Each structure stands twice: as structure tokens, then as C-alpha cells.
Amino acid sequence: MSVIEKIQVKPFLKWAGGKGQLISQMRAYFPGQLLNTGRMKSYFEPFLGGGAVFFRLASEFDFENIYLYEINPEVANCYRTIRNRINKLVGDLAELESEYLSKTEKKREAFYYARRTEYNELILSKVVNNCVRKASLLVFLNKTCFNGLYRVNSKGEFNVPFGRYKNPTICDEENLYAVKEVLKNAEIINGDFSLCLRYADSQSFVYFDPPYRPLSKTASFTNYCQAVFSDSEQRRLKDVFDKLDKKGALVMLSNSDPKNLDPKDNFFDDLYKKYKIVRLNATRMINCNADKRGEIKEILVRNY
């Protein structure tokens, strides 16, 4: 283990499917090499989102190389902006926070919708010079919208309504600087998960946390960006898993357990039958209605 005290860092975005609550159970299944020596050469997280597992690993272990992939360009931009332009980002976010918190609830709501419109104009425009503003607006909206969701409509506009929080922390300066520190040597790639095949080798640990296979037909939380993560995408992911396995990489993957709804649904048990599968206990939203939370199982697949 490193003698230098590690930075404690947590996700700066609230993210649907975020692994925060499962990490303590998942830790026992991290590679033995990592748990025993505290280090590995490379870490890959090809479905970054809020990065709960990455931040936990970065708070405890050392990696020479880190590769993070995210298909949503605005999320990738946000991570890059924290790494490259933290002072400007924190300044802008602090202003958004003080302006927001100084308002009455009614005025906060109007302020939220005005910022949402501004964000949509920026992300849909071709102007490239607005990276910092897009990143600070993304963090602001994430902290003030309903349930911290990221959802876009068919035109690509972020359309999550206002969330009623009493005193949200919008600019957690200390954590944002810690995030910048752990991203120092990270490659942040806006692209498809399969790109990890390019660099992963026998000294790599790869953790996949793809969009969930929906538990019910009404559960639409898999639509993070515009394309839905279908069963054929899950199969394409399995091919990438196999290729990484052949390269000798250590690979771990999470997903929802289809048996929560249909005990006869063996989709993942069949797909990953040649690997180890364990089931973890989770509490999460089981459909679009945030009140409907329940105890469910999640699966964890490993090739080691």
C-alpha cells in the first residue's frame, strides 16, 4: 500500500445506476492482486457515468494508468473540465450556487428552468468554446433537478424537471479539487466501451457497469444518452468481455438480475456461463416512480 496518504474522493454527480450503495459488498470481489498489494498497472472503467467505483478505487489503490470511457459527450466534457480547468469551473459553480441559494423556492424554480434552457442551447449549438459553462451547468442541473437524473428527449435536450431540495450543495469545492487530483493521469475518452480493447492487457483491471437491462417494460432509465442499451448491445459487450479475457485482463461486470422479476429469465446466467457470477443485495428504483424502491439482487460477473 502506498505510504503517501490517499485522497478521499467521492462522485461529484448523482447518477442513475450509481454503484455507491453496493461498493462495500463489491470490494470483496476486487482482484486479489489489488487487495493484497494495493496497486495494479492499469484500471479501465468503460461506462463511467458518476464513476462511484472509480472514485472508491482511486481513494484506496494506486494505478499507473487510468482509462475512463463515456458515450455521453457532456459527461466526458465535465470530467475533462475538472481535470484541465478546475479554477474556472469552481468559480462559475460557486456563483451559480450563491445565486440559487439566495432565492425563494418559486424563484429557484424559474432560475433552474432558465439554466436548463441555457444548457440545452449550448449543447445543441456547434460552438465549441463553451466547455466550462457546459460543465458547470451540468453539475448545477444534476444537483438541483428531480432525483439527479440525466435524461434527454428525442431532440437531445435535457428535459428533467426541477427537484425540490432544501439546501443542495452545488459547489463542493474540496471534493472537486480531490476529483481533479485523481484525474491527473487519467485518459478521459468520449466513446464506446469497446475502445478499451485497444489498451487493456494482462496487467489491467476492467470494470464494466453498463446501463441496466430494464427490470420492467416501463423502466426507461437505460436511456442515458439517445441510444437504448438493448440485449444485442449486452451481447456485444459480452464479446468484448471475452476478448479481454483472452488478453489476460481481469474483468468484472455488474448488471441488474432479470430473475428479480422473472425467476426463469436466465439471460445473464446463460450469457456469462463460463465465468463466475455472484448476486449482491441492492435497494433501487424499480420503475420510473421514485417511491417504488425495493430490495432486489444485482449480479456481479468475474473472470478471475
Ligand X SMILES: C[S@@+](CC[C@H](N)C(=O)[O-])C[C@H]1O[C@@H](n2cnc3c(N)ncnc32)[C@H](O)[C@@H]1O
**Spatial contact of 191 and 79, defined as CB atoms under 8 Å apart:** no
Q: Which SS3 state, helix, strand or coil, does residue 204 take?
A: strand
The residues that bridge with 260 in the sheet, in sequence order, are none
Contacts of 221 (CB under 8 A, 6+ apart): 16, 17, 149, 211, 212, 214, 285, 288
Which one of residues 9, 34, 40, 52 is an interface residue with ligand X (CB under 6 A)?
52
Query: Under the criterion CB under 6 A, does residue 79 sit at the interface with ligand X?
Result: no
Q: By C-beta, is 45 or 97 nearer to ligand X?
A: 45
55 sits near ligand X (criterion: CB under 6 A): no
Q: Is 229 in the site for ligand X (CB under 6 A)?
A: yes
Q: How far is the CB of 180 from ligand X (least distance, A)?
A: 18
Q: In angstroms, give the least distance from the CB of 48 to ligand X.
A: 6
Residue 59 near residue 9 (C-beta atoms within 8 A): yes
Total residues at interface with ligand X (CB under 6 A)? 24
Q: Which stretch binds ligand X (CB under 6 A): 63-71, 110-118, 132-140, 263-271?
A: 63-71
Could you say which of 74, 92, 97, 209 contacts ligand X (CB under 6 A)?
209
What 3 state SS string does 65-120 have? EEEEEECCHHHHHHHHHHHHCHHHHHHHHHHHHHHHHCCCHHHHHHHHHHHHHHHH
12 binds ligand X (CB under 6 A): no
CA angle 298, 213, 299 (to 5 degrees): 20
B/e letters for 61-95, b = 16+ CB within 10 Å, e = fewer, are bbbeebbbbbbbebbbbbbbbbbebbeebbebbee
The binder of ligand X chosen from 30, 58, 63, 70 (CB under 6 A): 70
Listed ranges 36-44, 66-74, 92-100, 129-137: which one lies at the site for ligand X (CB under 6 A): 66-74
Q: Give the span between the Cα atoms of 282 and 298, in whole angstroms.
A: 7
CA distance 95 to 104: 17
| Residue 221 lies near ligand X (rule: CB under 6 A) | no
Quick check: 57 and 33 in contact, CB under 8 A? no
Which residue's CB is nearer to ligand X, number 36 or number 232? 232
219 makes contact with ligand X (CB under 6 A): no
Q: By CB under 6 A, which span of 15-23, 160-168, 172-180, 289-297 interacts with ligand X?
A: 15-23
Closest CA to 288 of 223, 211, 208: 223
Residue from 158, 193, 241, 268 touching ligand X (CB under 6 A): that is 193
Candidate residues 12, 15, 30, 43; the one interacting with ligand X per rule CB under 6 A: 15
Minimum Å gap between C-beta 125 and ligand X is 21
The residues binding ligand X (CB under 6 A) are 15, 17-19, 46-47, 49-53, 69-72, 75, 192-193, 209-211, 224-225, 229
